[in-house]
Each structure stands twice: as C-alpha cells, then as structure tokens.
C-alpha cells in the first residue's frame, strides 16, 4: 500500500493489516507509531474474545469497524499536509 492510497478495508477473510500496512502516514505528521499501537491494541481486544469457528472473522470485522475510519483519516491528513508544501 503506497502513501497515497486511502484504505478501503483493513480485513479480508482471516487476514487483518495494522500499522503502516494499514495506513502509511507521512513522516511529517509523526502519527504512525501511536496509530500502530492503537491498531494492535484494538486488534488484541477484539480477538481476546476467542477466534474459534466464525469468531475469527467476527473479531477481525469488529477491529475493522473500530479502526478503518481512523486509518483513512491518517492517510488523508498526511496527503493534505504534504500537498500544502507543493503549493
């Protein structure tokens, strides 16, 4: 995922992406490490309920519902910030 791509999802089947894989921020915003920790913490909370049977898919979709908006905002904010230097 490049720095110009706003994520459409964070989960596909039994796979979830977190951190820079989910939302590659511009280094100028200094938001990547904190957002990555929040992703990991949220994912851990979601899967702590169990991942047997359909539980894994449900847990990952819950993670996505909690973090996707933030991931999209991080990328969009970085894009705006970077573009402001080009004007």
pTM: 0.74
Using CA atoms, how far apart are residues 58 and 78, in angstroms rounded to an integer?
Answer: 30
Q: Which residue has the higher pLDDT, 84 or 57?
A: 57
- Nearest 10 degrees: Cα torsion 10, 21, 73, 28: 170
- 63-79 pLDDT, tens per residue? 999 999 988 888 887 77
HSE value, Cβ hemisphere, 13 Å, CA-based, for 67: 29
Q: How far apart are CA 53 and CA 83, in angstroms?
A: 45
The per-residue pLDDT for range 14-53, each reduced to its tens digit, is: 899 998 888 876 666 666 788 889 999 999 999 998 888 8
Domain residue ranges of the chain, discontinuous segments joined by +: 11-78
């Amino acid at each position: 995922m490049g720095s110009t791509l706003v994520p459409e999802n964070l989960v596909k089947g039994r796979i979830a992406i977190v951190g820079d894989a989910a939302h590659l921020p511009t280094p100028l915003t200094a938001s990547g490490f904190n957002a990555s920790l929040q992703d990991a913490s949220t994912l851990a909370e979601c899967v702590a309920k169990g991942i047997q049977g359909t539980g894994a898919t449900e847990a990952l979709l819950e993670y996505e519902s909690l973090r996707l908006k933030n991931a999209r905002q991080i990328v969009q904010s970085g894009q705006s910030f970077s573009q402001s230097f080009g004007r």
